[in-house]
Amino acid sequence: MLTTRYVSGSPNWLDLGTPDIGAAREFYADLFGWTFVPAGPEAGGYGMFQLDGETTAAGMPLAPDQGHPAWSVYFQSPDIDATAEAVRQGGGAVLHGPMDIWDQGRMAYFADPSGASFGCWQPNRNKGLDRVGAEGALCWTELYTPDESAALAFYTAVLGWGTSSMPFPDGSGSYTMVHPASAGPDAMFGGLVPLAATGGTTPHWLPYFAVRDCDATVTRARSGGGSALTPAVDLQGVGRFATLTDPAGARFAVMQGEPQDG
């Protein structure tokens, strides 16, 4: 599953673009216990969300002309310029960069052929998130896409993914999961969801955060000005999850894992 032993093609960074970073800081502090640590005056308001001094995500102020509030998932790249060329060759778009972020690393922001946006991070001093897979931290990702086969072909060429599948408990089909091909299925970090099955119209990446109590988290999100796009539901063998928005409208999900035997 998702760990900080990052390899090429796996998620290694996550940030929130929001019109009011102060309001976001308060909302996520109440929801996950995060504190916000500014990156410095030269960072334009960018900063790190942390738990016990470990970075779980980042956030930045978003101007009205910079797009809608959203969480962005970044994947590790060993050569971000080569990744940008692979995105172009695969029918995607380079939206921003590649560019150096001081001595921390090198980043770029892309869109896949369906329009779902994602980033890549080539680490230097900043290797990536300090904490994942634990309560209050990133634990899973999903791509909502209109064409699973085309998406897999694109990301496999760009990021070097492998796949596996899990049948749904009701026998209605299967869930496609992805992992770095070099690391194998034990390094699964996400899945693909057909956009038509959700009634949605906008392809996007959705981050999941681990929580102790899904229903209590949904209640806190609502009381803090967020909303529930999908109510808390159980998935046999996985856990209980819900899809939410923060007060600015940025989408994310929360997952309460099933207790493990032993």
Give the mean pLDDT of 130-149: 96
Picking from 98, 119, 92, 87, the residue whose alpha carbon sits closest to that of residue 13 is 119
**H runs (alpha helix) in 61-136:** 80-89
Phi and psi torsions of 242, nearest 5°:
-150, 150
Is residue 142 a contact partner of residue 190, using CB atoms and an 8 Å limit?
Answer: yes
Q: What is the pLDDT of residue 262?
A: 44
Percent of the chain with pLDDT over 90: 81
Distance CA 13, CA 139 (A): 12
Amino acid identity of residue 203, one-letter, is: P
Give the mean pLDDT of 92-113: 96
For the stretch 23-68, pLDDT in tens is 999 999 999 999 999 998 888 999 999 999 999 999 999 988 888 9
Is residue 55 a contact partner of residue 130, using CB atoms and an 8 Å limit?
Answer: yes
With residue 219 as reference, give the H or E element that holds it.
helix 214-223
Q: Which class for 164: exposed (0-12), middle (13-18), buried (19 or more C-beta within 10 A)?
A: middle
Picking from 128, 153, 131, 130, the residue whose alpha carbon sits closest to that of residue 143 is 153
**b/e burial code for range 18-46 (CB count within 10 A of at least 16 → b):** beebeebbebbeebbebebeebeeeeeeb
Distinct helix (H) and strand (E) counts, the chain: 5, 16
Q: What is the pLDDT of residue 172?
A: 65
How long a stretch of residues is the chain? 262
- Flag whether pLDDT at 169 surpasses 70: no
Give the mean pLDDT of 188-193: 95
Tell me how far the alpha carbon of residue 26 is from its chain's centroid: 20
Give the mean pLDDT of 129-145: 96
Pairing of strands 204-210, 239-245: unpaired
Is residue 217 a contact partner of residue 210, using CB atoms and an 8 Å limit?
Answer: no
Neighbours of 72 (CB within 10 A): 20
The residue to which tokens 């900080």 are assigned: 4
**H runs (alpha helix) in 38-119:** 80-89
Phi and psi torsions of 119, nearest 5°:
-120, 170
Is residue 90 a contact partner of residue 159, using CB atoms and an 8 Å limit?
Answer: no
For the stretch 226-260, pLDDT in tens is 999 999 999 887 899 999 999 999 999 999 988 76
